Amino acid sequence: RGIGISLLFFAAFLAAGTWAITRSRASTAGIGFLFLPAEASIAGILGLLFGRFRNSSVEKYRYGSWLSLFAGVALIAFTIWSGVQVNALNASRDNQQARYSAAIASNRQQIDASLQANPGRQRAWLDSSIRARLNDRAFLLAALPHDSISSEVIDTVAYNPDLGVTLEALRNPNASAQTLERVYRTASYPDYFYQALAAHHNTPDSVLRKLHQNPGVISGLDIWLAGNPSTPKDVLVDIGRKTTDRQVVAALLENPSADCATMSALAENLMKKQKRDADDVNVQRFSQVYPTVCKRATE
């Protein structure tokens, strides 16, 4: 009986713990599975003590067995309650996000309508509206994708302590080179903006070179650098010589700034490292681009 109850408690806690852990959306939630067997074993031991001593002739053992039962049940109940709490928190966050998304969509519609109602004055209207609502996050996220904003206002918004707002400002095509470089050099967590910086046509050459040399904690920057017409030629050549990612190769082939030196480096890469394959669309595209680019270089 003791072993049977012990296994029952162990299985119950294992099931409750698994359910509770899978409720979490945290990236580190899976670590909980490492401790789950040990925690379930504690519940199993409590069940074993109850099953073994609940009919004992020694009174204190009987009392102890019932305490073990209550402790085991409480442990399992607490685990289930934790999962319920996480579910409630997730639901609350989902509702909050839904309301926030609705607010952004509503602001976007209002902005589009106002821009249509102000022909010839779109930039003036949008600039003044943003200056008046610098603390309204939903409005800023709805407004910043528009290319009617002046670079001066983009620079003002880029000082926002909200990383999401600053990121949206940097993605705007009117963000100036000075704004982009300032954020790269002064942001408290610059890595957060590396992808936007690598893709922006106004990012200074010096910053693009540093991003290529040291991408920080961000992986996959080469695809953005390869597709950016402003990326320095030496960086494009280095990417062409080293990359093994077909998406990066595809971006490089469509970059209007890729010169014959870049194509030559890429040719060597395709032949030696990627084992030329006639069915590879990049190889087929390369055979079209290479003669044209290198012909222009000799004219």
Cβ atoms < 10 Å from Cβ of 157: 24
Q: Which of 59, 61, 62, 45 is CA-nearest to residue 2? A: 45
Q: What is the pLDDT along the chain (299 residues), one digit of tens a residue?
A: 789 999 999 999 999 999 999 999 888 888 999 999 999 999 999 999 999 888 888 889 999 999 999 999 999 999 999 999 999 999 999 999 999 999 999 999 999 999 999 888 999 999 999 999 999 999 999 999 998 899 999 999 999 899 999 999 999 999 999 999 999 999 989 999 999 999 999 999 999 999 999 988 887 899 999 999 999 999 999 999 888 888 998 999 999 998 899 888 888 877 665 555 545 677 778 888 888 888 765 55
What pLDDT, on the 0 to 100 scale, is given for residue 243?
87
Residue owning tokens 């904003």 = 149
Helices (H) and strands (E) in the chain, counts: 15, 0
Q: What is the pLDDT of residues 128-137, one digit of tens each?
A: 999 999 999 9
Cα–Cα distance measured from residue 219 to residue 259, given in angstroms and rounded to the nearest whole number: 25
- Rounded to the nearest 10°, the torsion over CA 50, 55, 56, 58 is 100
What pLDDT, on the 0 to 100 scale, is given for residue 234?
94
Q: What is the pLDDT of residues 267-280, one digit of tens each?
A: 887 766 555 554 56
* Farthest CA pair distance, the chain: 104
